[in-house]
Each structure stands twice: as C-alpha cells, then as structure tokens.
Amino acid sequence: MLSPAVAQERCHALIERAVRAGAEAGDAIYLANASESVQVRLGALEDVERSESEHIGLRVFVGGASASIGSTDLGDAALDELATRAVAMARAAPADKYAGLAPGDRLAKGPFADLDLEDAAERSPQDLRAAAEEAEDAARAVAGVTNSEGAGASAGRGVVALATSHGFSGAYAATSHGLSASVVAGEGGAMQRDYSWRSGRHAADLLPPAEIGRRAGDRAVARLNPGKLKSGTMPVVFDPRVGGSLVGHLLGAISGAAIARRASFLLDRDGAQLFDSAITILDDPLRPRGLRSRPFDGEGLPTAPRALVEAGRLTGWLMDSASARQLGAEPTGHASRGASGPPHVTASNVVLQPGTVTPQALMADIADGVYVTELLGQGVNGVTGDYSRGASGFRIVNGEIAGAVAEFTVAGNLIDMFAALVAADDLDIHRGIDVPTLRIDGLSIAGD
C-alpha cells in the first residue's frame, strides 16, 4: 500500500500519460485497503484472514466522450498501457454532453481538515482473537443461549488519493475496527438467532467485547417462542437498528441521478414539507472519526455539513457534476468513486436528530402495536414510494413491549410514512446512518 503522498504522485503520473496519449482532460483515483480479521466459534479459532487490495482508476475525456478503466498493476508499463487504452476507448464511445470534470473554480483547496480518521494504535492478531473470544464467551454465558455462529474482530487501514488534470490533488488515510457476535437461543425448530456489532475508525470507539456479546445473547433469547400478528392497521415502532433504512430510502430518492431520470417518488418535491416540523436530518462529512467522513468528494469538490431535511422540509437534491448539469444546478460535494466507472452520488454521516421523549413515552399510548427489530426483503419501489417488507420484532400491548412476533409484513407508502414519523430521544451515533427509535402510525400489517 502506498502512502497518501506517493499515491498522489502515481495519480498525477497516470494523468500525464493520458494527456500525452491524447486525452483532453481526466482524473485518476487510487484506492487501497489492508485488513485483518479473526473469527472464533465455540471457543475455538475458526479463521484468520488477511486481505490487501490496491487499485488505480483513470477517467479520460476526448471529443465530448469519456471512458473509465482501472488496474491493480501500478508499474510504469501498466500505467502506459492503461492511459493508451482509456483514450482509445473514449474515442470509440458516444458523446455525452453532461460528462466532464467538476467545475474548476469550485475545487477543494488544501490544507484539508484533520478528521482524525487514522488510529495510530495497532492491534495484533492475538489482540483480535482475545476480543472475539471475550465477546463470544459473554454471549454464550447468557441463560438460554444454546449455540454460537461465532464472534469476530477486525482491523484495517485504507488510503484514498485523487488527482485531476485541472488542478485538484488530495489524499488521506483512514483506519477501521470492528467487533461482532452472533448466537443462537433455543432448541430444534424453536431456535432463534440474533447478533450485535460495532465498528469505528478508532479501536477505542468500540464497545467492550463483553457488552457486544451480552447484547447478542440477550437479543437472541428475547426472540424465543415468537407469536403471530393479526392483519390490520396499527402503530409501528422501528428499533434504531432498522430505522436507518427509512432514511436510506430518502437518500436514494433525493439523488440527482434519480431525479434526472425521473425515477424518484420525490420528483417535483424539492422544498416540500415531507416530515413533521420536529424532524431534521443532517449530513456531516466532516465529523471527526466518522465512518463516512471525507475531506473532499470523489470529484475533488469540498465537503461540508448540510441539512438534508430542515424542520421537516426537504432542502434539495444530492448531485455529482453530471447530474447537476442535467438538472441545470451546481454539484453538492456528494460524488463518490470506485476504481472504475464514473462518479455516483452518496451521502456521508447522516443523522436524524432526536426528539424530546423517551422510547417508553413514545410507545405509552399504543394499546396494540408492534416494535420492529428486523426487516427482510427489498420490497420498496423507488419510483412510487410503495413500501412492503417482511419483519419480526415484539408486540406492544398497552404501551409495553410484550412477546416476540415474527413472519409478518409491514406495508405503506413512504410519502405517508415520512409525514407520520415521530422520533424518540435515544440517538446513539455509531453507524453511517443513525436514527433514534422511530414511530409511524397507520401502517398495514399482513400477518395471520
């Protein structure tokens, strides 16, 4: 893996080759990652894995057309061939009036903010194994847990570098750490499984292994002997583990590419009041140690915090340069890149801000409802907003969590669901999309 400075140099060298080969403009990206993971099961070491990857990607523009190509070989001869092939591909490609580099006058300029994404502490395979074993031991110690699917711990480091032919150059490194446990409760056909996990840029940000394991064990036991729900309409409360998926559907719908294709259920709703005025959703790419933090986007534009929804009102679309040109607007710094292919839109650290009541108070007036802890399937139509997903969780009876329930479907339309959404105050930020406990009344349940 190259250092960030050397990775920038290789990107510049590749662009220079492309220009010599006939490219009118271009950009190059370097992506590398090295990770190590240890998996244990039933107290024994099950797997130790180390992986390393290194890619460099080139995008060139010739005569209004573009082409993208990538390679894992960073040698001089390979870069020469990569540049020549990319230019030849672009000359054979159809013109695209929307393709092009980001506006030169809007490029990010260093020095970039220090987002504390790199953990100087190193974890040895022995450290990872000890953490995984402690997590699994704690999970198996929970009364009612009968088997284990294993526990794992991981550590990794990555480097991103980007350079463009019109003046941008930047790079950064980031580390990652993870810990998880998954166990089974019950016997025979009555068995239930559940899990717990945590990831972070720094090892110090993880929960203690014993806490990860205890949560996995408690969750699995709580799911034993699930009952059935009767079909009907009732309030649904979404656990934070699954509630973030609702925000994920919003992010897909406000992508500039989806709007330009007219393939979004939020088409023509820019600036509309989608949620109750108590709901605000923030996107912060500059959060220190954030899982999705980055000092610049995949086109070299600056990133900045932004309200995606403010006081319930949608503030606009997320756009890379191509979709912005299609929509007659400006890019928003939300482009992301892989080692090959054009940029696409992604958000960063997204947080639905907490409400003012506890989860218990949020449920207090629910005589008959359901608390969802797991969602299954992909039954969401991004064009119409129709929503239908399999689920499991717990009944809510007279404001209290009651017995486990499974094998039911939750259905509605995202427009109506967003309008009815209410948030509790239990926000815990540790994912890429974080939400507190969420309540939506009037959803359709298909059960018995």
The answer, yes or no, to whether residue 448 has pLDDT greater than 90, is no
pLDDT (mean) for 394-401: 97
DSSP-assigned beta bridge partners for residue 62:
65
* Cβ neighbours, 10 Å, residue 16: 17
CA 129 vs. chain centroid, Å, equals: 27
Cβ contact 101:320 at 8 Å = no
Distance set, CA 139 to CA 38, 161, 176 (Å)? 17, 40, 23
Mean pLDDT of the chain: 96
How far apart (Å, rounded) are the C-alpha atoms in residues 399 and 359? 10
Q: What is the pLDDT of residue 280?
A: 98
Instruction: State the average pLDDT over residues 349-369.
Output: 97
Beta carbons of 298 and 422 less than 8 angstroms apart: no
Q: How many Å apart are CA 309 and CA 253, to the nearest integer?
A: 13
Dihedral in degrees, nearest 10, Cα atoms 319, 170, 110, 432: 50
Domain with CATH 3.30.2290.10 in the chain: 4-221
Predicted pLDDT at 349: 98
Peptide linkage before 359 cis (omega within 30 of 0): no
- pLDDT, tens only, 228-238: 999 999 999 99
Confidence check: pLDDT of 189 > 90:
no
Q: What residue type is 227 in one-letter code?
A: G
* Contact residues for 448 (Cβ-Cβ < 8 A; gap 6+): 228, 229, 230, 231
Cα gap 365→63, rounded to integer Å: 64
In this predicted structure, the answer to whether residue 110 has a pLDDT above a threshold of 90 is: no
Angle between helices 4-21 and 76-92 (to 10 degrees): 50
pLDDT, position 201: 97
Distance CA 388, CA 377 (A): 9
Q: Is 151 helix (H, G, I), strand (E, B) or coil?
A: strand
Nearest of 44, 260, 67, 278 to residue 150 by alpha carbon: 44
Q: Once rounded to an integer, what is the mean pLDDT over residues 441-446?
A: 97
Q: How far is CA 42 from the centre of its chain?
A: 31
> Distance between CA 187 and CA 196 in Å, rounded?
21
Q: Residue 386, CB half-sphere, CA atoms under 13 Å: how many?
A: 4
Q: Quote the CA–CA distance of 311 and 281 in Å, as a whole number.
A: 9
Residues 119-172 pLDDT 10s: 998 899 999 999 999 999 999 999 999 999 999 999 999 999 999 999 999 999
- Tell me the fold of 4-221: PmbA/TldD fold (3.30.2290)
Residue 34: band (very low, low, confident or very high) from pLDDT cuts 50, 70, 90: very high
Cα separation of 298 and 335, whole Å?
Answer: 5
Q: Can you read off the two tokens belonging to residue 30?
A: 């370097």
pTM, entire model: 0.95
Partner residues linked to 34 by β-bridges: 52, 157
Q: Are 333 and 304 a contacting pair, CB within 8 Å?
A: yes
Q: Report pLDDT for 341.
A: 85
Supply 275's token pair.
Answer: 């949620």
Residue 378 has what pLDDT?
85
54 in Cβ contact with 74 (< 8 Å): yes
Q: HSE on the CB side for 377, CA within 13 Å?
A: 14
Higher pLDDT, 208 or 377: 208
- The percentage of the chain sitting over the pLDDT mark of 90, rounded to a whole number, equals 96
The helix/strand/coil state of 49 is strand
Query: What integer pLDDT is reported at residue 339 of this predicted model?
Result: 84
pLDDT, tens digit, for every residue of 45-93? 999 999 999 999 999 999 999 999 999 999 999 999 999 999 999 999 9
The Cα–Cα gap between 401 and 439 comes to 14
Task: Give the residue among 315, 380, 304 at the shortest CA–CA distance from 349.
Answer: 304
Structure confidence at residue 424 (pLDDT): 98
Nearest to 274 by CA among 61, 419, 421, 103: 419
Please tell me the predicted confidence (pLDDT) of residue 416: 97
Share of the chain above pLDDT 70, in %: 100
pLDDT per position as a tens digit, 403-422: 999 999 999 999 999 999 99
pLDDT at residue 311 in the model: 98
Average pLDDT over residues 397-405: 96
Neighbours of 171 (CB within 10 A): 23
Does position 202 have pLDDT exceeding 90, yes or no?
Answer: yes
